[in-house]
Structure 1
């Protein structure tokens, strides 16, 4: 691939991105697309009316870019939570570090690569991209120390930026923990692998155990049951009734007086609440015709145990409850709306086998990835294939693709590399799905990238999967089509409660993958850096706009994705340094190779320092903060109210939960959930 083919591919992608973003700036102004591009604002009832006709609605404008760029991190924190801020800071870090890398490598390393050997250079548009890589530097060149110096500058800059970002996110997490409203998960411990008794029920076993060993802090517990299809149907009916109540009260807001409307909502909420507080689980079983023996068989070896203070709950979740580590396994409970009840039915011992099976499947996918990508990469390098396998010359001459490559380099960039990148994107997308927040997908993606060490492939991948994906994210084509179909074909109205959440599980790995490409290719193929920098700048604007206007934060981890991003960046630095060490060795430059070894050691030391200094803040809670929060609640008289509302926080049989889906209860126990939902 030459410069002309690269510029052609870049020009096409720039045109597509400009077209899609211009179309987005027009479509977002249309009243019918409010639910697509302002889902968050619509849910918060803050969207402005766009019913009046105006010529401005059909003219592209960059106003949304300016607004997204000027929005502060504090505003994002207030509207979308700490996870959104951590994701945005990942983009900020990438912009800063690759701006430094672009200046150093484009003006310092790229000229040395281009003039690395004594050869006749043709015109720049006809030059091969390999001329701009370190492969063009002759062996034993005295200029390789410049590459080593550039690697030192990039690595040291990354250390400084990573340190300040880690410290900033850690401080924000501490504030998030200490200033957050009382949450039932702070007082609750999930207990699994409860020993089955010979006589009695599991509930009695749990009560006796925690009364004996945690007498001063134990409050109560709630067993987890394996419900059947009948109970699921009942819960589905209750959910439908709740939606009807919600829509009816939304209609009443337009016609009924405030006082009268509030009375209806409170009455409906109280009726719904009494229907669950008055009848316990035994009453439900009697209505279903279930006997006590049937109820005992439906009990799972898991329970939610409530404690009087946050400190007691954390201590109980951290210590080993028995001499057998596979029995009485405790952990802090997830928030009520994060609970997936069917997962709690899985025996604890099966989780070990499931983890092993997941890792084996990931390894299989990793090796399956190599074959098709290598094949497509080979199609784009037909000349090299003919040299390596002479018997293919006759076959390749009959293929139309070879004639295209001989006559028109542009088609190489338009056909082969698009095929290559689409295939790579599809396979990487498969990797992203099983793991939340990309914990398992990173290693697979990285190994897959190493299987195709071609700078042309990576540059084209940034153009297609990077630039194009961001413009597609902005315009939200599938949501736009579905909104049109739903409104004008099925005649359904917009549901303000059906707002999507931000797809961290796919976007975080994508950003980290491009960061990996930037670090590993910085001194080897500096031409990739401008394209990466454009990607991060565009992503900074698009993602901030989507966070502010489109997505709702349904899950909040308090910035716990940042240690993963930090470790991934450290891994990328180490990989880049190891590759540089190998390249310097192949180029027979012992001085440059020797100077890389101290850099590897310093990277490991820096990683260990950050792990000791900041990592515990994201994994554990400090006793000082927990005790202060407990004392504050006791002083203000809120502790009794918290204890009372804990009983209904994790309701397996609530209208918002069923046997296969998460409970939809609000995470905060400081407000009445039913009244709030019905009044909205």
Structure 2
């Protein structure tokens, strides 16, 4: 049993030591604190300088240059090379309404989430997805074509509200080619028509590595224009119609009703659901037969579990580094490590978090691949699924596996005796206080500094410009990585809730992290990331459920702490907290969660009536027929279709500064 009566805090110029009485564990964030503070200060200073350089504008202001058609000046001033905090002021002063208009509903952390969700639906322009449902598992008939089957079915059972439909085809590689061709062609057209600086003209016309003359684009231009139509017509003959289609209705209310009810007595046929927004559709997964989805979900679940347990190998290794004395007993060759305070502090305090972070870089792409195989029909749904997988992964591998110190397998027996879990957690969490404080510094502070500096994008931009001699691409603006950032924030919330009662020194480090994250993420949404699609706030139930879980875990640990202290009165007051937290979670699940899954019939009917009275409904119906375009239609003037004059202006004509 540990004694938690006295907490001694020793401060020195180089490290911080927390002692939990004489018989308790000690936590030494030590040199990790100074190292990470130094890295953060360096990265933030570099960012404040590099963001002012014209060559890095598309790294740090990609969204604004793409959406607002901003221009920039290129004055040579001393202020460009001096660190400043102006970006912090701008990120702090931006309002929630501006964040909502720029980043969408997913981008704003506000109080009245339900009201904002309804206002987002009713206040936005007519959305094609509100009139459209996705129908899957359509039975094929030998007597009539698939399009006749769909038309006859919905005319018969939804005759008063059915408008039209669009069959989904499995078009093979040509669809991917057409999707990429538009982006590639716009790049070459922009290079050809944009006014270039005289000093940059020779380098832009040659490849930086092989010296190939860039006007060879003329050959590909004519070849593409000549063969594009033939390729598309030949692919049309090879298209394979899938048992899925988008069905359009005359009103929003009719589409919602049709998406929620069973269409036939066989629930495996004519399966319906609200369609994603056109820009959110993930076309490669629409051809997947409905009967395969449960197999894919089961397979990805098993693959995720296997990957989580395989990851125990590096986590166990990292865990051993935090207990260097035990490793030296098992592996005598480690005794050669110099017995100096700096070396010991670095190996046991800072190095484990760095190694774990390196291994964690492989998790997001792996989980995104699993989520893609799972079969979501929307890009936001795929990102939301990956977010959940990464969240479960990090909570298990970063928190629980590190808390269950020693042999992981030998500690799993505690779950067979639920009454002993609180006491075991109360004893185990303080042992890893050093690791968690250092983890907040390494993955928290340093990762936010790296995020605002855009380390990878900055390196890639430098290679493009100075090695490959390529021009800035205004269309290569990334979307916000919710699937990686949301789990990270929620994990730190969990660590803060659970460790604050046993290692209170972690609280100021977490406060700094959340305050810095508030400014960094607002700055990135305002300037860097572009919102091509969004889930309509459906990330928030994940945030809510994880926060409730963190509260419950904190209360369970508190119950264990009071149990080790032989304080029955305090334990008695903790039990009602658990009950009230569960009741609050159930209240929110019934009152707020349906808003994120369903639409209000009252709001949709009022919106339909308003559109009919103003005469906008006919225009909406016309737009529905071309909203979900699986392939671009053939055109004779490709350049006029793909090229936008708004992006061809001289980049040196300043309209408003963006720094």
Query: In the alignment, which residue of structure 2 is the partner of 1:69?
Result: 92
Query: In the alignment, which residue of structure 2 is the partner of 1:457?
Result: 435
Where in structure 2 are the equivalents of 1:553-572 lying within 5 Å? 553-572=531-550
1:485 has 2:485 as partner: no
Task: Provide the rounded CA distance (Å) in 2 between the counterparts of 1:221 and 1:599.
Answer: 53
Displacement of 1:13 in angstroms is: 0.5
Query: In the alignment, which residue of structure 2 is the partner of 1:440?
Result: 389
1:608 has 2:586 as partner: yes
1:425 has 2:360 as partner: yes
Displacement of 1:524 in angstroms is: 1.8
Displacement of 1:230 in angstroms is: 5.3
Distance 1:525-1:233 versus aligned 2 partners, 3 A rule: closer
1:336 has 2:278 as partner: yes
Task: Provide the rounded CA distance (Å) in 1 between the counterparts of 2:159 and 2:264.
Answer: 16
Distance 1:443-1:416 versus aligned 2 partners, 3 A rule: same
Q: 2:552 aligns with which of 555, 559, 574?
A: 574
Task: Provide the rounded CA distance (Å) in 1 between the counterparts of 2:179 and 2:314.
Answer: 47
1:225 has 2:169 as partner: yes
Query: In the alignment, which residue of structure 2 is the partner of 1:396?
Result: 332
Structure 2 unaligned regions, length at least 5: 1-14, 19-27, 197-228, 372-382, 404-431, 635-639, 648-659
Displacement of 1:208 in angstroms is: 1.1
Using the TM superposition, name which of 373-382 and 217-226 deviates more.
373-382
Task: Provide the rounded CA distance (Å) in 1 between the counterparts of 2:174 and 2:317.
Answer: 53
Task: Provide the rounded CA distance (Å) in 2 between the counterparts of 1:346 and 1:286.
Answer: 23
Q: 2:139 aligns with which of 168, 191, 195?
A: 195
Task: Provide the rounded CA distance (Å) in 1 between the counterparts of 2:185 and 2:320.
Answer: 59
1:3 has 2:17 as partner: yes
* Deviations, residues 11-41 of structure 1 (Å, cap 9, x unaligned): 1111110011001101111111111111112
Query: In the alignment, which residue of structure 2 is the partner of 1:325?
Result: 267
SS in 2 for 1:22: helix
| Contact 2:314 2:356 (8 Å CA) reproduced | no
Displacement of 1:420 in angstroms is: 4.6
Distance 1:180-1:234 versus aligned 2 partners, 3 A rule: closer
SS in 2 for 1:399: helix
| Contact 1:29 1:50 (8 Å CA) reproduced | no
Task: Provide the rounded CA distance (Å) in 1 between the counterparts of 2:186 and 2:366.
Answer: 37
Distance 1:205-1:432 versus aligned 2 partners, 3 A rule: same
1:353 has 2:295 as partner: yes
SS in 2 for 1:625: helix
Query: In the alignment, which residue of structure 1 is the partner of 2:36?
Result: 13
Task: Provide the rounded CA distance (Å) in 2 between the counterparts of 1:423 and 1:679.
Answer: 42
Where in structure 2 are the equivalents of 1:195-594 lying within 5 Å? 195-229=139-173, 233=177, 287-288=233-234, 298-384=240-326, 392=329, 395-396=331-332, 399-401=335-337, 403-404=338-339, 408-413=343-348, 416-423=351-358, 425-426=360-361, 429=364, 433=368, 434-435=370-371, 436-437=383-384, 438-448=387-397, 449-453=399-403, 454-594=432-572
Structure 1 unaligned regions, length at least 5: 90-164, 253-282, 387-391, 657-672
Query: In the alignment, which residue of structure 2 is the partner of 1:50?
Result: 73
* Deviations, residues 468-526 of structure 1 (Å, cap 9, x unaligned): 10000111122112212212222221121221111111001100110011111111221
Q: TM-score, normalised on structure 2? A: 0.77
Distance 1:650-1:369 versus aligned 2 partners, 3 A rule: same
CA RMSD of aligned residues (A): 2.8
Displacement of 1:232 in angstroms is: 5.5
| Contact 2:251 2:608 (8 Å CA) reproduced | yes
| Contact 1:235 1:655 (8 Å CA) reproduced | no
Work out which structure has the larger RCO, using CA pairs closer than 8 Å and 6 or more positions apart in sequence. Answer: 1
| Contact 1:30 1:50 (8 Å CA) reproduced | no
Task: Provide the rounded CA distance (Å) in 2 between the counterparts of 1:604 and 1:290.
Answer: 56
Q: 1:179 aligns with which of 119, 123, 139?
A: 123
SS in 2 for 1:404: coil
Q: 2:609 aligns with which of 631, 635, 643?
A: 631
Task: Provide the rounded CA distance (Å) in 2 between the counterparts of 1:575 and 1:655.
Answer: 55
Displacement of 1:74 in angstroms is: 1.4
Task: Provide the rounded CA distance (Å) in 2 between the counterparts of 1:217 and 1:649.
Answer: 18
Structure 1 or 2: more helix by fraction:
1
| Contact 1:26 1:60 (8 Å CA) reproduced | yes
Task: Provide the rounded CA distance (Å) in 1 between the counterparts of 2:257 and 2:178.
Answer: 38
SS in 2 for 1:12: helix
Q: TM-score, normalised on structure 1? A: 0.75
Distance 1:408-1:251 versus aligned 2 partners, 3 A rule: closer
